[in-house]
A and B are shown apart, each in its own frame.
Chain A
Amino acid sequence: MSAAPVAARGIAGQQWGSWGPRLGDAGLRLLGVVAFLSLWQAATRAGLLGEAFGADFGPVRGLRALGRMTASGVLVEQSSASLGRLGLGLGIAVLIGAPLGVLVGYSRPLDAATSVVFQFLRMTSPLALVPVALVAFGVGSRPVVFLVAFAALWPVLLSTAHGVGRVSPIWKRVVRGFGGGDRAVVRRVILPATVPDLLQGVRLALGVGWVVIVPAEMLGVDSGLGYQILDARDRFAYDELVATILAIGLLGYLTDLALRWLKERYSWNV
């Protein structure tokens, strides 16, 4: 048990080769970002994205626009609109998906009865449901939230169901042996045991949520980062368009980082 961390460090050290000690992880990450931005800039300079507006699609102008839009407050406004819908959609997905996942994880018959339908729905692109969402929920934030929730539901549900499978019956017996009832079993065993898998599901859901929310916000809403992209296009403000794309990527990265941290915090090993 004491040898494991040492061995892990040894392997990590080998992986990085001689670069590791000199640059460190943070340095290498920064290097990767700089290299990516340089390549991108070079590509737009070379006219790979078209001669006419090519330079506007480059990261240099995009970053400049990002600074401007942040200073003017427009980016904060649009980002909070998107984050609000995303959070609401994910929240609904967790509220429905987590209990359903627990049920499916526990009941073999229910699992068998639902597995085909769930896999089918999971593979259905939420964007195919746009017309349905618009007819059902009208114009505004509600269809956007619906589409995010729909996309996010399946990873949350399936991941939670998987987590339930990791719950040892012995832990439940321990709690019952101490006189605990169903509530104690849920609170002290099932919840803490499945939370890491639930959070992993939310992480996956966040990924698809970002993928879905941008196009969804291009339909019938007048706020959010998806709307911002269309708006920038209509104004031929291509540098702002790039800035919005950068903002989406950045927010996606940061929200995922937060969830990853949360997941690590609650994860456990046998």
Chain B
Amino acid sequence: MERVREGSARRSALGNEIIVVDGAGRTFGRGNTSVEALAATTLEVYEGEFFCLVGPSGCGKSTLLNLIAGFDRPDRGRVLVQGRPVTGPDPRRLLVFQDYGLLPWRSAIGNVELGLEIAGIPREERRSRARALLERMGLSAFEDKKPHELSGGMRQRVNIARSLAVDPDILLMDEPFGAVDALTRMGLQADLLELHRAGGKTVVLVTHDIEEAIYLGDRVAVMSERPGAIRAIVNVDLAWPRGRTSAEFTHLREVILEHFRLVPERRAPEYSI
């Protein structure tokens, strides 16, 4: 695995490893219909880091995120979070679903309260915490609206508010802004960045949008085609606010794109069999 400018300075600045993926792989099915979704993968994510994963569609990004979230187990290797093997889902490391996963019969505020209900937080406290988060997300006027009455961007804001309500240490985001228009996406990205910089949470964000990864990430991991493996990890040492058109930004895009260009060449011989 090639690492681009992986600085040890960054490691100490960011603190300890909070997520360790140690040779973890996942194959679905058995026999000759089995699909190797994720090749043995090794990576570390540091506490407080904003870590982005980019890769082509179907390369195993969601599979990897599911392993970290505890919705699935690796069939090789192991996944450790805060030093302990992952055995199941845990509200301290929350998966933020791509298609929001909002409960359609609940209002926006009811959705934000879901995790707090499950945690057994009393009603009054639930309400006030949910209300504060919706306000932070600019959704105060919409707290009584049902999901189908909200736009895609608003739904994702509610989804993020719902995740933040239980104050997780780790947010695992699976292409969270894939289904919203470009301008809304930029707004959401800026908000997410602000939340991250204010909160000290660790974020692992999966995307197929290279620009999004560079805009948000402290590091960007590039995954190869299926079966996915980490092809490279690129440090993003850019100051905030990050201009998407600056020379450094464009350069990093080039660097990451370069990794993708390697993919078809390497795979080409296999197709000719």
Contacts and interface: CB of A to CB of B under 8 A. Distances in A.
A188 interface: yes
Given A176-B89, A177-B89, A171 B119 contact: no
Contacts of B148: 1, 269-270
A173 B90 contact: no
A192 B151 contact: no
Interface residues of A, number: 21
Contacts of B105: 192-193, 266, 268
Given A171-B103, A173-B71, A269 B97 contact: no
B151 A179 contact: no
Contacts of B115: 178
Contact of A188 (B94, B97, B117, B146): B117
B235 to A, nearest CB: 30
Contact of B97 (A170, A179, A189): A170
B101 A180 contact: no
Interface string B93-106: 01101010101111
Contact of A177 (B95, B106, B151): B95
Interface in B75-129: 89-91, 94-95, 97, 99, 101, 103-106, 114-115, 117-119
B90 A170 contact: no
Contacts, number: 63
Contacts of A177: 69, 71, 89, 91, 94-95
A175 interface: yes
B160 interface: no
A139 interface: no
B95 A269 contact: no
A174 interface: yes
Contacts of B166: 178
A178 B118 contact: yes
Interface string B155-192: 00000000000100000000000000000000000000
B118 A269 contact: no
A192 B111 CA distance: 13
A170 B99 contact: yes
A174 B104 contact: no
A124 to B, nearest CB: 35
Nearest to B105: A268
A173 B117 contact: no
Interface of A: 1, 168, 170-171, 173-180, 184, 188-189, 192-193, 266, 268-270
19 contacts: A1-B151, A171-B103, A173-B89, A174-B101, A175-B118, A176-B89, A177-B91, A177-B94, A178-B114, A178-B115, A178-B118, A188-B114, A188-B117, A193-B103, A193-B105, A266-B105, A269-B146, A270-B104, A270-B148
